[in-house]
Chains A and B, each alone.
Chain A
């Protein structure tokens, strides 16, 4: 029984991380029409910045106070995103999609190498944060309170994002721009600013995912590319451009992964792609994707 409970929590933690990444990916695509290949690398960057700042502050601040450095990864990535959109991406909106894929893929390579240049190849960790919150006993098996807290962060982020997009004036402008960029511009909406902020917000969420993962796992080279592939499976299932799709897709992918790991190890990887293929066959735009 305790195994089931812990596996459910494991699955929810993984889903929270996947949701943050996939929601950012979907938001950027939904508003700007760009498939951001560098999105996984923003996630990695968030992980590295958080690990680095927590390690730098570890001697100075008490363990629990280190949590103030956790969002630093997300903030740093958002700032970088806000700088990249007007300087780099803006030049490619009018060009065919393959240019956008190429430029974001190039960005992925540049970011991966920059990470290695700045932080080297040694895995970075921030496990002090996990230890400072202690362990919960679930039927005799320990479970880190930190992971539980981060599932909460994932839920809050999902709610906040929903409220932001559907309940604020900015959200209205965002959705208007997503539906018809020219009409929005003609109505006097500063489309350039909306694009920058949407990209920055998407990057913030990727950075936040990296920041919450790094204390429980580690920041390692290549982690961005690894997660990018799984996030694409999530958005393929949920529908690229849809936030609800990102949430449902993340829950399906993580639950399926946990179930196959526990009961049918051989098909752990195959199962993910199989379900993505089935969704694509039945609903090519994904479960919540708009028909184009």
Chain B
């Protein structure tokens, strides 16, 4: 690496308070086994019923499967300790998100009205949370979404949430994280090509990536756009089109089985030799879904949330313990969805325990909500904070370059390449106006970036 490049990198990272490499979390982890205070008052031993909707079939099972397994692991661990507050075991009803938005809404109603669930969790698709959020509010069912991370949910669909919360990072952070990762590792790129699935997620990634990269690097030019349908597996025409426009960098939000099909074809068409490639979800499914033939040095996104090798075992034992338990239970490594679903249940447990200490007995939903608002939890991914104003989870955003390391039969992140960005550096602050309130950007984040980020200097 030449000296000039090194200096440019340091500049970027300083600007955001971001770190490169295996550093990151300052403190050593506190371990999972908090000595829980003895529950106060009379706790019934009736089970707590939880509803969980996630993708159990179809292409998105690649995301939903680990989510379900993360949820089950947390449930089993909590139940093995006697249940919530030592008394109430967790019983979960699962339903398939692939049934479609309307069916999901009906299922949530059924879960609340006929199964009498105490808590609703799960949901992967950004198309579903904006439909389910208002219903959760209407039914007054405490809800911890573990994904479906569109900014639209708390910007517009449920601008003043009471019952609905979400644990994974907000969607706009995904494109911005990829932009910072790309600018950090490849400050010389100028000509950008984009390949995005043609739905809200792909649009969001492209918009926030190009907006952020345009502020970070001078003279950015988008030379090629491709919008394949979600579920496409023949990418050859898109790849040839991208090659015909000679970009320096390709940004893609293509994910799951689509991404596997894409990289196999791109590899044989020589795409990775001709340009840098940044992704938002290459490592988003099960880790072992990607083969060893995947090229090294690709910015392999995890939805800006979590990869199981980071934070590293020495610095953050909570992650080490989680990965070990998950692996021994499921014989595979966890994904960001596994982390999200796992943490959602522990977040609930923490809030119930805190509320119990204050009010005694089994706390009312209002008391649990009060404990969730502004809550912080030591999660496998690091510190997770739930903002009180919008019920949105925030944790440091991460991405890294793919590399084949011994010990894993799939590619992982090169530890030296991991970029970790404090989430406050890339998301709009609490009082920033939402879309429609003084600006008409698609998200509060887009407006905030446009107005406050300094332009790149040539």
Q: Which residue of B lies closest to A135 (CB)?
A: B268
Cross-chain contact A216 with B265 (CB below 8 angstroms):
yes
**1/0 contact string of B205-246 vs chain A (CB within 8 Å):** 000000000000000000001111101111011101101100
B279 to chain A, nearest CB (A): 16
Contacts of B289 in A (CB 8 A): 122-123
A109 to chain B, nearest CB (A): 9
Cβ of B48 within 8 Å of any chain A Cβ, yes or no, is: no
B277 to chain A, nearest CB (A): 16
Contact partner of B57 (CB less than 8 A), chosen from A3, A113, A216, A262, is A113
Cβ of B261 within 8 Å of any chain A Cβ, yes or no, is: yes
Cβ of A116 within 8 Å of any chain B Cβ, yes or no, is: yes
Cβ of A266 within 8 Å of any chain B Cβ, yes or no, is: yes
Cross-chain contact B270 with A142 (CB below 8 angstroms):
yes
A108 to chain B, nearest CB (A): 12
Cross-chain contact B258 with A3 (CB below 8 angstroms):
no
Within 8 A of A (CB), among B263-277: 264-265, 268-270
Cβ of A226 within 8 Å of any chain B Cβ, yes or no, is: yes
Within 8 A of B (CB), among A196-239: 213, 216-218, 220-223, 225-226
Contacts of A116 in B (CB 8 A): 57, 61
Cross-chain contact B264 with A217 (CB below 8 angstroms):
yes
**CA–CA, A41 to B198, complex, Å?**
24
Cross-chain contact B260 with A141 (CB below 8 angstroms):
no
Cross-chain contact A258 with B198 (CB below 8 angstroms):
no
Cross-chain contact B286 with A121 (CB below 8 angstroms):
yes
Give how many A-B residue pairs fall within 8 Å (CB-CB).
120
Within 8 A of B (CB), among A43-62: none
Cβ of B288 within 8 Å of any chain A Cβ, yes or no, is: yes
Cβ of B311 within 8 Å of any chain A Cβ, yes or no, is: no
**CA–CA, A146 to B233, complex, Å?**
17
**CA–CA, A154 to B291, complex, Å?**
28
B208 to chain A, nearest CB (A): 20
Contacts of B256 in A (CB 8 A): 123, 220
A254 to chain B, nearest CB (A): 9
Cβ of B58 within 8 Å of any chain A Cβ, yes or no, is: yes
Cβ of B65 within 8 Å of any chain A Cβ, yes or no, is: yes
Cross-chain contact B233 with A213 (CB below 8 angstroms):
yes
Q: A116-B57, A226-B231, A268-B228 are in contact. Are A218 and B261 (CB under 8 A)?
A: yes
**CA–CA, A13 to B268, complex, Å?**
15
Q: Which residue of A lies closest to B61 (CB)?
A: A121
Contact partner of A222 (CB less than 8 A), chosen from B227, B240, B257, is B257
Q: A113-B57, A122-B289, A268-B228 are in contact. Are A217 and B234 (CB under 8 A)?
A: yes
Contact partner of A130 (CB less than 8 A), chosen from B57, B243, B268, B288, is B268
* Number of chain B residues close to chain A: CB under 8 A: 38
Cβ of A149 within 8 Å of any chain B Cβ, yes or no, is: no
Q: Which residue of B lies closest to A18 (CB)?
A: B234
Cβ of A143 within 8 Å of any chain B Cβ, yes or no, is: yes
**CA–CA, A228 to B241, complex, Å?**
25
Cross-chain contact B293 with A10 (CB below 8 angstroms):
no
Q: A123-B289, A125-B264, A142-B269 are in contact. Are A10 and B257 (CB under 8 A)?
A: no
Cross-chain contact A141 with B270 (CB below 8 angstroms):
yes
A40 to chain B, nearest CB (A): 11
Contacts of B291 in A (CB 8 A): 125, 127
**CA–CA, A75 to B26, complex, Å?**
59
Q: Which residue of B lies closest to A121 (CB)?
A: B61
**CA–CA, A223 to B268, complex, Å?**
21
**CA–CA, A258 to B62, complex, Å?**
28
Cross-chain contact A3 with B238 (CB below 8 angstroms):
no
Cross-chain contact B264 with A265 (CB below 8 angstroms):
no
Contacts of B62 in A (CB 8 A): 121-123, 221
Cβ of B59 within 8 Å of any chain A Cβ, yes or no, is: yes
Q: A130-B268, A135-B268 are in contact. Are A6 and B240 (CB under 8 A)?
A: yes
Within 8 A of B (CB), among A240-292: 257-258, 261-262, 265-266, 268-269
**CA–CA, A258 to B228, complex, Å?**
11
**CA–CA, A123 to B258, complex, Å?**
9
Cross-chain contact A3 with B269 (CB below 8 angstroms):
no
Contact partner of B240 (CB less than 8 A), chosen from A3, A121, A131, is A3
Cβ of A144 within 8 Å of any chain B Cβ, yes or no, is: yes
Contacts of B58 in A (CB 8 A): 112, 221-222, 225
* Number of chain A residues close to chain B: CB under 8 A: 42
Cross-chain contact A268 with B241 (CB below 8 angstroms):
no
Cross-chain contact B257 with A127 (CB below 8 angstroms):
no
A227 to chain B, nearest CB (A): 8
Within 8 A of B (CB), among A125-158: 125, 127, 130-131, 135, 141-144, 147
**CA–CA, A123 to B236, complex, Å?**
18
Cross-chain contact A217 with B261 (CB below 8 angstroms):
yes
Cross-chain contact A216 with B268 (CB below 8 angstroms):
yes
Cβ of A42 within 8 Å of any chain B Cβ, yes or no, is: no
Cβ of A14 within 8 Å of any chain B Cβ, yes or no, is: yes
Q: A222-B59, A223-B257 are in contact. Are A216 and B237 (CB under 8 A)?
A: no
Cβ of A11 within 8 Å of any chain B Cβ, yes or no, is: yes
Cross-chain contact A112 with B57 (CB below 8 angstroms):
yes
**CA–CA, A112 to B96, complex, Å?**
14
Contacts of B257 in A (CB 8 A): 123, 218, 220-223
Contacts of B228 in A (CB 8 A): 268
**CA–CA, A11 to B238, complex, Å?**
11
Contacts of A222 in B (CB 8 A): 58-59, 231, 257
**CA–CA, A7 to B240, complex, Å?**
7
Cross-chain contact A11 with B243 (CB below 8 angstroms):
no
**CA–CA, A164 to B229, complex, Å?**
36
**CA–CA, A127 to B260, complex, Å?**
11
Chain A contact residues, CB within 8 Å of chain B: 3, 6-7, 10-11, 13-14, 17, 112-113, 116, 121-123, 125, 127, 130-131, 135, 141-144, 147, 213, 216-218, 220-223, 225-226, 257-258, 261-262, 265-266, 268-269
Contacts A/B (CB < 8 Å), 29 sampled: A3-B240, A6-B240, A7-B237, A113-B57, A121-B61, A121-B286, A123-B257, A123-B260, A125-B260, A131-B268, A141-B269, A141-B270, A144-B268, A213-B234, A216-B268, A217-B261, A218-B260, A220-B260, A221-B57, A221-B59, A221-B257, A226-B233, A261-B241, A262-B240, A262-B244, A265-B225, A265-B227, A266-B227, A268-B229
Other A-B contacts than A261-B238, A262-B240, 16 sampled, CB-CB below 8 A, are A3-B243, A7-B240, A112-B57, A116-B57, A121-B65, A122-B289, A123-B257, A123-B261, A127-B268, A127-B293, A130-B264, A141-B240, A143-B269, A147-B236, A222-B59, A226-B232
State the 3 A-B residue pairs at the shortest beta-carbon distance, nearest first.
A220-B257, A121-B61, A222-B59
